[in-house]
Chain A
Amino acid sequence: QSVLTQPPSVSGAPGQRVTISCAGSSSSIGAGHDVHWYQQLPGTAPKLLISGNNNRPSGVPDRFSGSKSGTSASLAITGLQAEDEADYHCQSYDSSLSRIIFGGGTKLTVL
């Protein structure tokens, strides 16, 4: 059971906007720890997508954005494309557990 909670799956049609939630706690996201997002295309390793809640590394399209509020965070993808079909993982740190934590991952299906 993951310490960060994500929906197992989300879906959307090409061109639409989808969001993926990541629920934490008062000792993780709520304690002010940053949230990072990783994209894992089928059969490949994860890749950093969003760091520090809403910062895109070079090369990541601005269709991807992150936000954080209270004990939760969200990843938004606008103008959905077929190539966005992947698993998305959120990650933070938990002060009570004293360790890096991940969500269970969300599978995005582009209809």
Chain B
Amino acid sequence: EVQLVESGGTLVQPGGSLRLSCAASGFTFNNYAMRWVRQAPGKGLEWVSTITSGDATFYADSVKGRFTISRDNSKNTLYVQMNSLRADDTAVYYCVKDRGTSGWVMEYWGQGALVTVSS
């Protein structure tokens, strides 16, 4: 059974930094692209970042230069380092496993980690 468990969500001040982690199990982690998707309170879903199985990285314009996605295949863990946080970064952040085929299908989702940026 695929499991994705996020951790690290908390309250942080504007301009601060935070690292989210996602522990993955139930599949061969290093074979799949992984993503972060966020959902602001009462809003829709927003793609944040992707890291491929070959470690290529992609970012939404809204986070480019501030967020860094990475993975540790030895620990089956996905990360996102978030710097220079702003109020509009407040959201639930989901760790998502790609299906591994073409089409950018988000096959499995974690339960989410809440990040609140406020003074």
Q: Which residues of A contact B (CB under 8 A)?
A: 2, 33-34, 36, 38, 44-48, 51-52, 57, 89, 91-93, 99-105
A residues within 8 A CB of B108?
48
Give the distance in Å from the alpha carbon of A64 to the alpha carbon of B94 in the complex. 24
Task: Report B-chain residues with C-beta under 8 Å of the C-beta of A38.
Answer: 45, 106
* B104, B108, B109, B111 — most chain A CB neighbours (10 Å): B104
Interface membership of chain B positions 27-56, coded 1 if the CB is closer than 8 angstroms to chain A and 0 otherwise: 000000001000000011111001000000
Chain B: residues with CB nearer than 8 A to chain A?
35, 43-47, 50, 58, 60, 94, 99, 102-112
Q: Secondary structure at chain A's binding surface: helix, strand, loop or mixed?
A: strand
Known: A99-B58, A99-B60. A48 touches B47 (CB 8 A): no
With A45-B111, A99-B60 in contact, is A36–B106 under 8 Å at CB? yes
